[in-house]
Chains A and B, each alone.
Chain A
Amino acid sequence: MTVKRITFLQELLALIGLEGRLHLEWISSAEAQKFVHVVTDFTEKIRALGPNPLKENRRLYTLEIDSDTESEETISVSGG
């Protein structure tokens, strides 16, 4: 069931463009090598993806779309 729930969540995040940031793996306490391998690989993958784009600058689209006209006003009104 966990794998189904996580699959659901992975696909849900993919719908809005946040794919690849959730990973599920079963690792026994005896599998130290596997743990290191998985954590290292996933850390690298996440680092390559960069910080969560929703954390800051939620108005990314306004900056791009309105960059030519009245950008000052739009940013100051809607920022944050």
Chain B
Amino acid sequence: MKDQIKQWLQQGKVDIFLGYKMVEGHPLPHFFVKDRLYEVDELVTGPIRYPLEKLAIRLAAEDPEVKIGLLVRDCNRRALNVLFLWHQLNPDNVMSIPVNCCPSNLADQANCSLLKPEKAGPYKEMVGIDNNISIEEAKGFDQEERLRRWTYEFDKCIKCYGCRDACPVCFCKECSLEHHALVKTGDLPVDIPIFHLVRAVHMAGRCIDCGLCEEACPMDIPLRLLYKMVNQIVLNVFKYNPGIDSVQSPFNMLGDEVTLEPKGLNAA
């Protein structure tokens, strides 16, 4: 793999390669370039995950012609698909090297930080939403309990914007979450449910379920579960599966044809 990266850099197939390097004992994203080819030997892979595609978007925004190489897992691959579809990256300028990711009998080991989810404590289990429960379980609470549990989770939010910053498919220049008319910045407690549901709506039809938001969240809010749930609605209503389908999400400003009937007044 390292030889291939060196080869790509030398041949000019890529101008910058995005990988990880150990810095002070921490694997951090690093830009490998031709001028410092020796650094490629220090490239590391492992369970560590960063949104490398997000760095690639920044680079491409600065210089649309720059050729970028990067390490991709399955989640990175899905994120790249979404970014190509939304014209944030040019597929011709992106080269990728797959890295070991999900568990398989054929791989020596599974390398993903997501594979060891933290178990919820008893208090969170009692009043909040356990991050590891299924969509069905989360929907299973009765109405009052559902509201109370989600309110507990959202209420913990310290508005660090970590979920947005870590998200590989968040690329808007102006973020609604920082728009004064919509969400007051620097104001706590967070506006429930506006803050989280605005983000949830933006993730609908776009979230590729990488789980980085939840890993980034210092308050342990079950964001991955929330975005999984909105994506399930998008799948049911719009028949769209982000990261896999090869067209832009129909849940957008322009819309598409109507095939559903309105719900009756007494429907749940």
Contact = CB atoms under 8 A, between A and B. Distances in A.
B141 to A, nearest CB: 8
Chain A facing B: main interface SS: helix
B146 A7 contact: no
B193 A20 contact: no
A8 B255 contact: no
B265 A41 contact: yes
Contacts of B234: 8
A34 to B, nearest CB: 11
Interface stretch (B24-32, B97-105, B196-204): B196-204
Interface residues of A, number: 34
A45 B144 contact: no
A47 interface: no
Nearest to A45: B265
Number of contact residues on B: which range applies?
35 or more
Given A1-B258, A65-B127, A8 B193 contact: no
Interface in A1-39: 1-8, 10-12, 14-20, 23-26, 38
A1 B252 CA distance: 10
B260 A7 contact: yes
B268 A58 contact: no
Interface stretch (B11-19, B72-80, B107-115, B150-158): B150-158
A70 to B, nearest CB: 14
Nearest to A10: B263
A39 to B, nearest CB: 11
Contact of B251 (A8, A14, A20, A64): A8
19 contacts: A1-B255, A2-B258, A3-B260, A6-B262, A7-B263, A8-B238, A10-B263, A12-B197, A12-B200, A12-B201, A15-B138, A16-B146, A16-B197, A17-B150, A54-B192, A58-B151, A58-B189, A60-B148, A61-B149
Q: Give 6 closest A-B pairs by Cβ, nearest first.
A: A17-B147, A1-B255, A17-B146, A16-B150, A11-B233, A61-B148
